[in-house]
Amino acid sequence: MHNLAWPTKSHPSPLPFQKGEGKCYRIALVALLVMSAVACWGQGRWSLKPYAGLALYHYVGDEAKGCRMRPGVVAGVEACYRLTNYMSVSGAVEYVPRGSSIRPIDSYLRQDHLSVPVLLHFHPFGHHIDMTLGVAPSFGLHSVMRIGGEHYNGDELFYSHDILVPLGISYTLNNGLSFGARLSAGRKTMVRRDAIYHGEHYNLRGARMMNNELSFIIGYRLKL
C-alpha cells in the first residue's frame, strides 16, 4: 500500500512529467490500421451504429480504497465491417464520463474521456447474437477533483490516457435495433508516478488504480 495522499492545501497534489501517452496513440493507430487492412481484404459490407446507454464506472486496485461506484452515461457511433457470416470488425468513437466519489472524505474525481474501441465481433449463433472482444484506448478531455468544496486539476495526479480491454455481448433485432452489455477492464494504472511538486517527492511507482466499466447499450444498426 502506497498511502496515496489526496491533495489538500497543506499537502499539495503531485505534478509529475511522465512520457507514455504516445504508447496509447500507437496502440489506437495500429488497431485502426489492422481494421482497415482486414476490411480491404474482406468481401463483406459496412454498417453504422449510433448508440447510447447507462454505465457504472469504478476504480479497482490498492489505491482505490474509498472510491465508490459512479453511475453515468455512454454515447458513441460505431462503424462495422462484416467479414464473414461468423466474424466482423469494428471501430468506434465514444464519450465516457468516468469517475468516483471518495469516502470517508467528501470528495469526487471525474475524468471525461474520448474512447476509441476497436473490436472483433463473433457470430457463433447467427447474425442476431454478437460477441465482442478488443482493445479501447482512451484520451482525456477534462479531469477535475473536488475536496472539501475546492476543485483541483485531476491531470496533476492521474494520467489523461488509458487502455481498457472490452468484452461484450449484444442482440440485434431484424429491424436493426440492438441491445447489449459490455464489461471493460483497465490495463493501465491511472496514478502518476515519481513526482516532485512544491519541493516534495512522491514515489508512487507500482501504485495500482485502474478503471473498470459496466455499460448497458441500446443502438440502431444502419446498413450502408
Residue 210 in any domain: the answer is yes
CB of 177 within 8 A of CB of 217?
Answer: no
Whether 103 maps to a domain, the answer reads yes
Say how many domains are in the chain. 1
Position 5 scores a pLDDT of: 47
- Angle CA 105–158–94, to nearest 5: 105
Q: Has residue 215 been placed in a domain? A: yes
Our CA angle for 19, 12, 196, nearest 5°, is: 40
Helix (H, G, I), strand (E, B), or coil: what is residue 106? coil
13 domain-assigned: no
Asked, for residue 6, whether it belongs to a domain, the answer is: no
pLDDT of residue 118: 95
Distance CA(3)–CA(209), nearest Å, equals 12
Looking at the domain assignment, is residue 122 inside a domain? yes
The structure's pTM equals 0.76
**Cα Rg, the chain, nearest whole Å:** 19
pLDDT score recorded for residue 126: 82
Domain membership of residue 154 (yes or no) is: yes
The C-alpha cell that represents 104 in the structure block: 470517508
**pLDDT at residue 190 in the model:** 78
Whole-number pLDDT of residue 2: 44
Per the DSSP assignment, residues forming a β-bridge with 157 are none
Query: Does residue 16 belong to any structural domain of this protein?
Result: no
Of 157, 148, 154, 159, nearest to 202 by C-alpha is 157
DSSP 154-200: GGGTB-SEEEEEEEEEEEE-TTSEEEEEEEEEE-S--B--SEEETTE
Residue 3, C-beta contacts closer than 8 angstroms, at least 6 positions apart: none
What pLDDT, on the 0 to 100 scale, is given for residue 26? 57
- Domain of residue 196 covers 21-223
Q: Report residues of the chain scoring pLDDT below 70.
A: 1-44, 104, 192-206
Distance from C-alpha of 124 to C-alpha of 111, rounded to nearest angstrom:
36
pLDDT digits (tens, 9 = 90+) for 148-179: 777 777 777 778 889 999 999 999 999 999 99
Q: Which three cell numbers stand for residue 123?
A: 457470430
Q: Supply the CATH number for residue 179's domain.
A: 2.40.160.20
Q: Are 16 and 201 in contact (CB under 8 A)?
A: no
Q: Return the exposure string of 122-142: e unless at least 16 CB atoms fall within 10 Å of the residue's CB, then b.
A: ebeeeeeebbbebbbbbebee
Of the candidates 15, 37, 112, 115, the one whose C-alpha atom is nearest the C-alpha of residue 81 is: 37
Angstrom distance (rounded) from CA 180 to CA 120: 15
